[in-house]
């Protein structure tokens, strides 16, 4: 077991994101609930930070890529994406939590894939 030199940002959808997902013409025949979408949130390894305000500043610098990733996970046609996406709106659509202690319990190397 080893600590790794990263923190984790956990991105959980809020009601506006859930509403957007359910407004799509995905022909699924059912609506996704807040509970379903929040039960398996996006977790991102980010640099280590001394305090939460530094971690939030990192997210503020990189939120557009994170937001696009979240949108693309549900719909690939960018025409359906919300038009203006400032950071303030990102924070209305997502909760962001941070974990500063990250432990690797696996005795194998980490596989990486480009996204």
User: What is the rounded distance in angstroms from the CA atom of residue 66 to the CA atom of residue 71?
Assistant: 9
Domain ranges of the chain: 2-104
Res 104 pLDDT > 80: yes
- What digits encode the pLDDT tens for the residues 77-88? 899 999 999 999
Query: Would you place residue 113 in the very low, low, confident or very high pLDDT band (cuts 50, 70, 90)?
Result: confident
User: What is the rounded distance in angstroms from the CA atom of residue 65 to the CA atom of residue 87?
Assistant: 11
Query: Would you place residue 28 in the very low, low, confident or very high pLDDT band (cuts 50, 70, 90)?
Result: low
Q: What is the rounded average pLDDT for all residues in the chain?
A: 91
User: What is the rounded distance in angstroms from the CA atom of residue 3 to the CA atom of residue 22?
Assistant: 39
Dihedral, CA of residue 62, residue 67, residue 72 and residue 73, to nearest 10: 100
Tell which residue, 97, 102, 107, has the closest CA to residue 6: 102
- Please indicate whether residue 112 or residue 71 has the higher confidence score (pLDDT): 71
**pTM score, two decimals?**
0.87
């Amino acid at each position: 077991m080893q600590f790794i030199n990263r923190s984790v940002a956990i991105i959980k959808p809020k009601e506006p994101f859930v509403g957007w997902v359910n407004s799509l013409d995905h022909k699924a025949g059912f609506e996704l609930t807040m509970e379903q979408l929040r039960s398996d949130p996006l977790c991102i390894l980010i640099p280590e930070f001394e305090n939460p305000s530094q971690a939030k500043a990192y997210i503020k610098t990189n939120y557009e890529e994170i937001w696009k990733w979240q949108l693309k996970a549900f719909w690939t046609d960018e025409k359906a994406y919300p038009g203006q996406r400032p950071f303030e709106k990102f924070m209305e659509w997502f909760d962001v939590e941070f974990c500063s202690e990250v432990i690797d319990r696996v005795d194998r190397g980490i596989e990486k894939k480009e996204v």
